[in-house]
C-alpha cells in the first residue's frame, strides 16, 4: 500500500513537472525588445518596421515599393532569437534576430528574396 502511494505520487509529480517546448519558449522580458527596421529585395521590394514587445510579440508594417502599399505584419520571437512574421497577404519573414541585426530569406507563395533588419 505504501509503495503504491509512493509510486502514484512519483507519477503525478512527473506529469506536473513537464514543460512543453511552447511554454519554455515564452518570455517575460525579451532580450530582443525594441524598434527594428530594414529592407527586403528580390521578387518584391520594400521596407519593414516592427517592434518586439517585452513578451516577444512582434507588431509592425511592411511598405511595398514602388507602389507604397502598406500592410500590417505580426509575429513572435523566441528566447533564442528565432522569429516568424507574417502578413495577411502571406508575406513571410523568418530567421534569427541576433544582437542588433538579422539577415535571411522572405517568401510569399512562389515569390522570394532577401531581407536585412537592424535594431534602432
Ordered by where they begin, the domains of the chain are: 29-119 (2.40.128.120)
Please state whether the predicted TM-score (pTM) of the whole model is above 0.85: no
- pLDDT of 99: 85
| Structure confidence at residue 49 (pLDDT) | 98
What does pLDDT average to over the chain?
Answer: 85
pLDDT tens column, 23-62? 445 667 888 999 999 999 999 999 999 999 999 999 999 9
pLDDT of res. 29: 84
In whole angstroms, what is the distance from residue 74 CA to residue 103 CA? Answer: 18
User: CA geometry: angle at 79 spanning 40 and 30, to 5°?
Assistant: 85
Handedness of CA 52, 113, 94, 102 (dihedral sign): negative
Going through the chain in order, the beta strands assigned E by DSSP cover 34-42, 45-52, 57-65, 69-77, 82-86, 92-96, 101-108, 111-119
Amino acid at each position: 500500500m505504501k509503495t503504491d502511494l509512493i509510486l502514484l505520487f512519483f507519477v503525478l509529480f512527473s506529469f506536473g513537472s513537464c514543460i512543453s517546448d511552447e511554454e519554455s519558449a515564452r518570455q517575460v522580458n525579451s532580450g530582443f525588445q525594441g524598434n527594428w527596421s530594414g529592407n527586403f529585395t528580390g521578387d518584391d521590394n520594400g521596407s519593414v518596421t516592427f517592434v518586439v514587445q517585452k513578451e516577444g510579440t512582434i507588431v509592425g508594417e511592411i511598405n511595398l515599393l514602388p507602389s507604397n502599399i502598406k500592410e500590417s505584419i505580426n509575429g513572435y520571437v523566441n528566447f533564442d532569437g528565432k522569429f516568424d512574421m507574417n502578413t495577411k497577404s502571406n508575406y513571410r519573414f523568418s530567421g534569427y534576430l541576433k544582437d542588433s541585426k538579422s539577415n535571411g530569406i522572405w517568401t510569399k507563395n512562389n515569390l522570394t528574396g532577401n531581407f536585412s533588419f537592424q535594431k534602432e
